Structure 1
């Protein structure tokens, strides 16, 4: 007899799921009974840490992340992290349990599942089985939907007494043989329009987003920029870094205010975007979206992103594929090369250091292979001081939901153990999910954590100034000993004595075997 549990794990393995992350409750214990040896279970001590680990693991490994949570309360604890997963289009299946069918009337189970209602606005699909034998069918559907463009999280709820029930073996065998390919390809006609706009523009610009932080997208962006002499910008608040930051065509990351963004793109007559929402705005502004007369054309694989863009001619299709096709179609131009970006010198005086100086110290020490989990809001707009030379090198909380970065570093290390992992975390952001340090120690993830301490909620302080709101002591977060917190979870930690100390600490050297942390005092 093939049970629901047998079928469930066979389907996970068929779809390449390599790990389960979770913080289970009583309803999920039955699920753990059949966990096969080939799929490790990585425990997190809090749901926000669990989803950050699963999300980053999926991004780093290129596989589907699988997250096991308790029902309503556990899902609720993960909601902040789920906003990042949804905004980043990460393929994650969230599986939660329900009470046993014998305890819950069928109509109540089908219509009153609090967890499904809670997460529904953030997931592509949510479901629960009408019968135990439907569990494998819904799992197969969930896995395919999570990995279909536009990728994103899905949610599956399973009653705790379904796992040992028999399945329809004939139907199950078909599930193991089916697959889907759901990567949209942009039609050629609108891509030709975009290509012609680039050819005939007097001063075009290229704006890139996280959707082209892939091997083909990264190399195609370089090829297009060099063939057409295009200045390259990164779209506002990017969760990834899709272009080398030391390339002569690279200009800057665009600001997240309408007026400031329009000013940054002034002087260009055609803007082409690939793999980016158009655009993410955070700071308030009454200005127009773009300077008058500017045309914007772009490609995204998310129809919703295309529909909600307030400006431009948006094409739905795989942005990396479209970028490669446009790069091949563009002839070399005699258009002047864009100005070469200069990085301002940093003030290196201490003992408290500027964000620029800390980034430079980290950059001197890190390797080009490093994968960086960034959740340090002081560095958001100057993150391109870091040298990025290859795709999948920088990861940021896509919706700005704090608490993602620390567990993300753990997930990156588990998902791609061949590359060193470096986490740049603010002292306030660290307090959202410090328990992720326990998981890093438990699973021997050799991540290097750099925690920058300014004892302030600086992001809100800056917004207080922008909105002309009086500041106050309520934004002070002093009194936390970051080093002792880390040591309490078993992480070797110390406070930096100099910028050279930071550089030496993050230098790869001999590969570390365990996580470690350094605290840097920031102005």
Structure 2
């Protein structure tokens, strides 16, 4: 007789998964296996449990870490995983989070928390209100109320980051949660998906097409969501050009562009709108219908008081961000997927049969020159002379932002990137992140000497990873953009705008990046040509006249 308590015939008991093991499976299911971080003590249990298929990208400062993740996500179109250290590391990274937030860049920020039972005591390295800290800059911020909810929270975070409008999310996890037992039902998380069908209804497409067909002088104002959609589907980029051609519409890039949403070589392209109320009104005057595709209405910067629009100018906005739609001070807004909407309209509007010349109405003046040395626009001319299919640009030279899209041929999706909120420290780390995501490309980062100091440690990661990144420090010896603002504001003498004595070539070499200093166009041309042919990162300290 067999004793009923005899376990010899029972199935072999299995050890339950830990929260860490279940969480790693969730991250793997969402493709979040590249981790950008600067580790601290609270994060060690998590990092120690990652599998061999995870790639940890070390950054030496949290702002650089977030910036590299933004560059990676901009290229891949998928969320990047960031690992930060409690409140201190999260605080260091928040300057870069402003750019990711306003740039709609998908990102999962995972922050380490102290042992759960000690958080309320505000022990060393605890974050008493962890979810509140980054709240204005993320779509979703949460610290799970129980360890068992960590895997589900990470699943939600990954889906939230990708759902339109894409953007960063934040999850804080106490370090002792990782060793707790997971739920058997966490296996269901690996099969989850969220599909958002945000196309325009046929009746609305026809209504918009009729409005555009009836316009006597239509215009398109295009923004970063259009470029992001084009990275996922290059046909959207072509559809925007077809829409402009069929309508014979002038195409403007929306103020403060963080991406290049339209080919700057196209005959209908009319440049970037200056980010001021009066400047926008003047540029759009004469157009009776203005269709804004994938941009806010509008992100002003300069204070130019006045009326928003001339009488007779009607604005229609299509955006994936409901908050962009609701906060606009004028116009009719439609919340929908920008890519499908652009494609649908391009196929439906009537063809007016008119085509413009090679450059439309624009006549570019020669680059500014100076007997005292090289100018910023001369740098842009050199860059444009060496455009090729592998090059993409990261720009953080605010003194040249309006010139950039005029003077450099941007003719494919994902080719131009600029900080969406103006948070300094964007250029160097974003360029490195883009290089990691697309090692076959050459990423050229033009960065002002003022902003370069915010993210200079990104050079370490570039050297360690051997990225194909060309860093051009546009060095005018100060905060040139602020000097321009001071002049327009009549602020007179402002302290702190001059910089001097910084040897960026020496700093780069200290991090392991080959570097040189140039002072003339001829020297810069030679250095840039050599940098494009290098197999790893190169920095050029390009000294220009203020």
What is the TM-score of this pair, normalised by structure 1? Answer: 0.96
Distance 1:62 1:143 in 2: 13
1:399 positional shift:
0.4
**Equivalent position of 1:488 in the other structure:** 510
CA displacement, residues 184-222 of structure 1 (integer Å, 9 cap, x when unaligned):
223333333321121011111111000010123311111
1:336 positional shift:
6.8
2:269 is the alignment partner of 1:250:
yes
Q: Greater CA deviation, 80-89 or 465-474? A: 465-474
Contact 1:365 1:503 in 2 (8 A): no
**Equivalent position of 1:177 in the other structure:** 191
CA displacement, residues 83-113 of structure 1 (integer Å, 9 cap, x when unaligned):
00000001100000111124335999xx973
Out of 399, 411, 421, the position equivalent to 1:378 is: 399
Structure 2: give runs of 5+ residues left out of the alignment: 1-15
Out of 165, 168, 173, the position equivalent to 2:183 is: 168
**Equivalent position of 2:5 in the other structure:** none
**Equivalent position of 1:97 in the other structure:** 112
Q: Greater CA deviation, 375-384 or 113-122? A: 113-122
Distance 2:28 2:458 in 1: 26
What secondary structure does 1:218 align onto?
Answer: helix
Q: Greater CA deviation, 493-502 or 119-128? A: 493-502
Structure 1: give runs of 5+ residues left out of the alignment: none
**Equivalent position of 2:496 in the other structure:** 474
Distance 2:478 2:415 in 1: 28
What secondary structure does 2:179 align onto?
Answer: coil
What secondary structure does 1:400 align onto?
Answer: coil
Distance 2:223 2:277 in 1: 17
Q: Greater CA deviation, 496-505 or 460-469? A: 496-505
Correspondence list, 1:387-466, <5 A: 387-466=409-488
What is the TM-score of this pair, normalised by structure 2? Answer: 0.92
Distance 1:183 1:487 in 2: 50
- The number of aligned residues is 521
1:267 positional shift:
1.5
Write out the 4+ residue segments of structure 1 that deviate beyond 6 Å after TM superposition: none
Out of 178, 192, 195, the position equivalent to 2:206 is: 192
Contact 1:148 1:183 in 2 (8 A): no
What secondary structure does 2:131 align onto?
Answer: helix
Contact 1:369 1:393 in 2 (8 A): no
Query: Looking at CA atoms only, which structure, 1 or 2, has the larger radius of gyration?
Result: 2
**Equivalent position of 1:356 in the other structure:** 377
**Equivalent position of 1:367 in the other structure:** 388
2:238 is the alignment partner of 1:238:
no
Contact 1:366 1:507 in 2 (8 A): no
Contact 2:122 2:128 in 1 (8 A): no
Q: Greater CA deviation, 392-401 or 173-182? A: 173-182
Contact 1:95 1:157 in 2 (8 A): yes
Aligned CA distance change for structure 1 residues 183 and 509 (closer, same or farther; 3 Å): farther
1:504 positional shift:
4.0
CA displacement, residues 96-133 of structure 1 (integer Å, 9 cap, x when unaligned):
0111124335999xx97333212011111111122211
**Equivalent position of 2:73 in the other structure:** 58
Distance 2:333 2:514 in 1: 49
Distance 1:387 1:360 in 2: 10
Aligned CA distance change for structure 1 residues 106 and 167 (closer, same or farther; 3 Å): farther
Aligned CA distance change for structure 1 residues 357 and 227 (closer, same or farther; 3 Å): same
1:31 positional shift:
0.7
RMSD of Structure 2 on Structure 1 (CA): 2.0
1:350 positional shift:
5.3
Out of 11, 14, 19, the position equivalent to 2:34 is: 19
Correspondence list, 1:65-84, <5 A: 65-84=80-99
Distance 1:112 1:345 in 2: 55
